[in-house]
């Protein structure tokens, strides 16, 4: 890709996603990488791969999102650092204008976002139980000896889905084993699991929420056709899986970078692809300035502190 564009990076606990879009918001490149517990290395590896295909592109702005958004923002020199709720809502509204409900299920958490007239009016996140997340589904696929990309197809082949307890990941797995021992078809067990996980999501994350169409399903689990079908069955409406469902957080961050550029109309803070050769490190320390004893995160580049955050009073914060 030549010319100019905007970069979006979404750093999560399981995956790190990067997208490059042009000035019209059209996606040009995307990368999906495993974070593997090392977000700094994941961001640097993603940027190296992106530089190989888009090294001549002028980066006009950078946006970051996800649980590691601050860290990625410091490393890259982001122009806007936004939470994942905002990023996913912006991307969904861009790809499916008029969207009113966003279902997002990632590797280790899930969320629901309620929009009306393009504005987020409510949301909820589930970070307590792993049931229904990508990591849980991968574990069950491995236990059953099934490739995760075949999980959804098998679920659609069910004749009589069995009832699986889906309130808890531990109970769901135990119930699946019990149903296997009873001799139920694997397709019926997988379909029953998808339906159980959807019930769990709606009863916990979606509890008390008014779910109206259009409904958009994004995040890595949206690739599972069985989960999509289960949501449609339970909600009684079509569930839309957008084209770039797996990198919507990064896409939203890139789109917000465009907005930030248009608002400020200044030079981007992007450090450039060459900055990836620098040595970044993170350490924490406890502030003893008051009884709060805040844990302060300290980021260094080539042994020089470039950012700190974590204090309730803002004493140490610098970004």
What is the three-state SS of 205-272? CCCCCCCCCCEEEECHHHHCHHHHHHHHHHHCCCEECCCCHHHHHHHHHHHHHHHHHHHHCCCCCCCC
**Kind and range of the H or E element at 156?**
helix 151-156
Does residue 76 sit in the same domain as residue 172? no
How many structural domains does the chain have?
Answer: 3
Specify the CATH number for the domain of residue 59: 3.30.420.40
Residue 286 falls inside a structural domain: yes
Residue 253 falls inside a structural domain: yes
Q: Is residue 296 helix, strand or coil?
A: strand
Does residue 49 sit in the same domain as residue 183? no
Question: Is 90 exceeded by the pLDDT of residue 312?
Answer: no
Does residue 164 sit in the same domain as residue 47? no
Does residue 267 sit in the same domain as residue 194? no
Question: Is 80 exceeded by the pLDDT of residue 165?
Answer: no
Does residue 287 sit in the same domain as residue 221? no
Does residue 133 sit in the same domain as residue 202? yes
pLDDT in tens, 27-74: 999 999 988 888 999 999 999 999 888 867 899 999 999 989 999 999
- The pLDDT value recorded for residue 169 is 65
pLDDT in tens, 137-154: 888 888 888 888 888 888
Tell me the sheet residues that pair with 258: none
Does residue 142 sit in the same domain as residue 260? no
Question: Is 60 exceeded by the pLDDT of residue 319?
Answer: no
Residue 201 falls inside a structural domain: yes
Does residue 75 sit in the same domain as residue 119? no
Does residue 152 sit in the same domain as residue 205? yes
Residue 172 falls inside a structural domain: yes
Q: Which of 160-169, 180-189, 199-208, 289-298 is predicted with the least confidence, judged by mean pLDDT?
A: 160-169
Does residue 230 sit in the same domain as residue 124? yes
- The pLDDT value recorded for residue 25 is 92
Mean pLDDT of 216-233: 92
- The pLDDT value recorded for residue 107 is 77
Residue 318 falls inside a structural domain: no
Report yes or no: 113 and 123 within 8 Å, Cβ to Cβ. yes
Containing domain of residue 140, as a range? 97-241
Residue 319 falls inside a structural domain: no
Residue 79 falls inside a structural domain: yes
CA separation for the pair 194, 41 (Å, rounded)? 34
Predicted structure pTM score: 0.87
Q: What is the mean pLDDT of the chain?
A: 88
Does residue 38 sit in the same domain as residue 141? no
């Amino acid at each position: 890709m030549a010319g100019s564009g905007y970069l979006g990076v979404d750093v999560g606990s399981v995956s790190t996603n990067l997208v490059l879009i042009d000035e019209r918001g059209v996606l040009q490149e995307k990368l999906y990488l495993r974070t593997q517990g090392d977000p700094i290395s994941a961001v640097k590896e993603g940027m190296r791969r992106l530089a190989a295909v888009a090294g001549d592109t002028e980066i006009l702005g950078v946006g970051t999102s996800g649980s590691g958004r601050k860290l990625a923002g410091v490393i890259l020199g982001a122009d806007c650092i936004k939470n994942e709720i905002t990023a996913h809502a912006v991307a969904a509204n861009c790809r499916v204008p008029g969207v009113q409900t966003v279902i997002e299920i990632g590797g280790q958490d899930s969320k629901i976002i309620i929009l009306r007239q393009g504005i987020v009016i409510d949301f909820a996140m589930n970070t307590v139980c792993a049931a229904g997340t990508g990591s849980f589904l991968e574990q069950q696929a491995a236990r059953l000896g099934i490739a995760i990309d075949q999980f959804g197809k098998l679920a659609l082949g069910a004749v009589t889905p069995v009832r699986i307890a889906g309130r808890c990941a531990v109970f769901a797995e135990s119930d699946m084993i019990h149903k296997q021992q009873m001799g139920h078809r694997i397709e019926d067990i997988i379909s029953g699991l998808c339906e159980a996980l959807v019930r769990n999501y709606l009863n916990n994350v979606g509890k008390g929420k008014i779910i109206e169409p259009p409904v958009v399903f994004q995040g890595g689990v949206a690739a599972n056709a069985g989960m999509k079908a289960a949501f449609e069955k339970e909600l009684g409406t079509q569930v839309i899986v957008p084209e770039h469902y797996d990198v919507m957080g990064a896409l939203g961050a890139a789109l917000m970078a465009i907005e930030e550029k248009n608002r400020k109309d200044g030079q981007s803070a992007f450090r450039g692809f060459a900055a990836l050769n620098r040595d970044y490190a993170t350490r924490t320390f406890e502030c003893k300035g008051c009884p709060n004893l805040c844990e302060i995160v300290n980021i260094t580049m080539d042994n020089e502190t470039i950012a700190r955050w974590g204090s309730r009073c803002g004493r140490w914060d610098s970004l």
